[in-house]
Amino acid sequence: MRKYILILDVGTTNIKGLAFSKNGEVLKNKEIKTEPIFPKPDWVEQDPVKVMEAVYELLDLMEDELGSASGVAITNQRSSSVVWDKNTGEPLYNMITWQDTRTTDLVEEYSSKFKVKFGKFLGDVVNTIAKFFPPIKKTERGGYIANLSYVSFGTSHTSMHLKWLMNNVKEVRKGIEEERALFGTLDTWVTWNLTGRHVTDYTNASATGLFDPFYLKWSDNILDILNLPSNILPSLVKNDEIIGEIDGYETSLLTIIADQQASVYMSGVKKGTTNMTNGTGSFLDIIVGDQPLPGGVGIYPMVALSSEDKILYLLEGFVNSTGSSFDWLKKVGLIKEYSEIGSICGAKEESRLVFIPALSGLASPYVKPGIKGTIMNLTMDTSKEDLVNGLVTGLAMRCAEVVDSLEDISQVEVKRVVADGGASKIDEFPQLIADLSDKSIEKPKMLNGSAYGTFMLAKKNLKDEDIIHSWEKPDIEKRFTPRERGYEDFKDDWKKGLKALMDKR
């Protein structure tokens, strides 16, 4: 039978298995839906046992059809949390997903702690000094303190999930007291079941709110502030480390990597590599080199990739609702099919409307969750096509703002942006981003960047090649360069509209 590398793309509602040939061709693509659980308003959970049932089903399906895999690799949605009993293997509570917002009160409580406020004060002091002496932020200690200005707890952070579980679930509290509880994100849970190892990689760890990217370890300060035990946390592994043999299958787990960082790896490994994944939301990342940099408002430092010889770092920002805004257009009857978006936008010139698409609040670089979507410049002759064009232009403008912010904070030039994800299928969207950001946007042939990036990584590990120096450029399907269109009036109106919304809040 043909040999292949199996990528398990473990999301919160879809778990995919993609069998790649050695040259990157997708031989099989299977998908299993796992239903989320909504016990209360704003609570979003998932059954960890059903996740593993889906993973094993995919392993079996691929083995039945293609034979044993040369190797398996995992990429996963970040920031979902599980606690389980290491003796029985049974979860002590459902997995709390990144979409869950039950920890809002905890976030407010711990964000107001003296140690957090004092850290912000110190960070502000260093950032003020850095205006006159910029190199201070490039030192390990200086960068760490400067970043304290922007450190905050969030409802998606696994740190908050774990604190809530300890406070509210007797089984979890008892398991921790009896030293039989283990904690981990989605990758850790799957990896433990497959190999018996309790590990996570640096990319997943850096999205938990528990990790210190400047000192590359679980944060003693965060653990102290939240009074969390360190002995239930997984060990850290690098992306070029083969995890181990998969129980019951004649193959190895070659690597684990967070989905967004896998997309970044597909795009490149050099300083300045910029990736934009347009899915439900848009995540934008820039590699800043082998030294971490402090972030900014809504811009977060993370590990991009870790190898035995080198660590790469990134800064990340995001737009809350991209694909979900396209869904909204269909839901309210402005379009019948997603294909209409491209034809409508392609037929329009500069948008007459200023549509600020904060349908789920404003994320980077503002972090104003209370701001709602707003439309300005409506007139009696505004058409539904104008509304569609206005929304898509607004989303492109939001992405352009994040690109500008990443470039400004990192002081690293963005020369091109690789745009993957399902919402990048509509060519007019990346074209509008190119127009508004004045950057070249490249759409890869493989739009599932997380799966393809993980395949590239797994292939290098299988061959025992250096994952950074032997990186190979993906096939680019289309390039979008900025068009000569006048957006000056639109951008002026956009800034005025945003200012009015901010002042109102």
- Kindly compute the dihedral angle of the four CA atoms of residues 324, 330, 333, 334, in this order, to the nearest 10 degrees: 80
Judge whether residue 75 has pLDDT over 90.
yes
Q: What is the pLDDT of residue 1?
A: 43
What is the pLDDT averaged over residues 216-228?
A: 93
Query: d(Cα 403, Cα 383) in Å, to the nearest integer?
Result: 30
Q: Which two tokens stand for residue 448?
A: 């599932």
Domain ranges of the chain: 1-103+154-237, 106-147, 268-505
Of 94-108, 141-155, 200-214, 300-314, the range with the lowest mean pLDDT is 141-155
Judge whether 1-103+154-237 and 268-505 match in fold.
yes
Name the pairing type of β-strands 416-420 and 45-46. unpaired
| Residue 365 preceded by cis peptide, ω within 30 | yes
For residue 419, list its beta bridge partners.
276
Segment 393-418, tens digit of pLDDT: 999 999 999 999 999 999 999 999 99
Element (H, E) at 437: helix 428-437
Three-state DSSP class for 171? helix
Q: What is the DSSP letter of 475?
A: P
Is residue 242 predicted with pLDDT exceeding 60? yes
**Alpha carbon 21 to its chain's center:** 26
- Provide the strand spans (E) within 330-436: 354-356, 374-376, 416-420
Weakest-pLDDT range from 214-218, 360-364, 493-497:
360-364
pLDDT in tens, 257-267: 999 999 999 99
What digits encode the pLDDT tens for the residues 457-496?
A: 999 999 999 999 999 999 999 999 999 877 888 999 999 9
- Provide the pLDDT for residue 505: 63
pLDDT value of residue 2 = 58
- Of 112-121, 236-245, 249-258, 280-289, the range with the lowest mean pLDDT is 112-121
Strands (E), 26-159: 26-33, 45-46, 71-76, 81-85, 95-96
pLDDT by residue (tens digit) across 112-155?
A: 887 778 777 777 787 788 877 877 877 777 787 777 777 778 88
436 burial via Cβ count (<10 Å: 0-12, 13-18, 19+): buried
Nearest alpha carbon to residue 73 among 251, 287, 214, 301: 251
Beta-carbon count within 10 A of 227 CB? 8
Average pLDDT for the chain: 92
Q: What is the mean pLDDT of residues 46-54?
A: 95
In the CATH scheme, what is the homologous superfamily, with its name and number, of domain 268-505?
ATPase, nucleotide binding domain (3.30.420.40)
What is the CATH code of the structural domain delimited by 1-103+154-237?
A: 3.30.420.40
Mean pLDDT of 433-442: 96
Which tokens is 359 given?
Answer: 């349908």
Report phi then psi at 444, rounded to 5: -75, 160
Model pTM score: 0.92
Give the model's confidence band at 236: pLDDT under 50 very low, under 70 low, under 90 confident, else very high: very high
Q: How far apart are CA 466 and CA 459, in angstroms?
A: 11
Question: 114 or 452, which is more confident?
Answer: 452
Q: How far apart are CA 410 and CA 92, in angstroms?
A: 41
Average pLDDT over residues 155-184: 95
Q: Locate all alpha helices (DSSP H) within 214-267, ordered by sequence.
A: 220-226, 259-267
Q: Measured between alpha carbons, how far is residue 296 from residues 64, 107, 115, 222 in Å?
A: 49, 19, 19, 19
pLDDT at 362 over 90: no
Q: Strand 199-201 and strand 476-480: pairing?
A: unpaired
Q: Looking at residues 294-303, what average pLDDT do you find?
A: 91
The H or E element containing residue 53 is helix 48-66
- Residue 148, both tokens: 């304290």
First to last CA, the chain: 62
User: Distances in Å between the alpha carbon of 477 and those of 21, 147, 346?
Assistant: 20, 38, 19
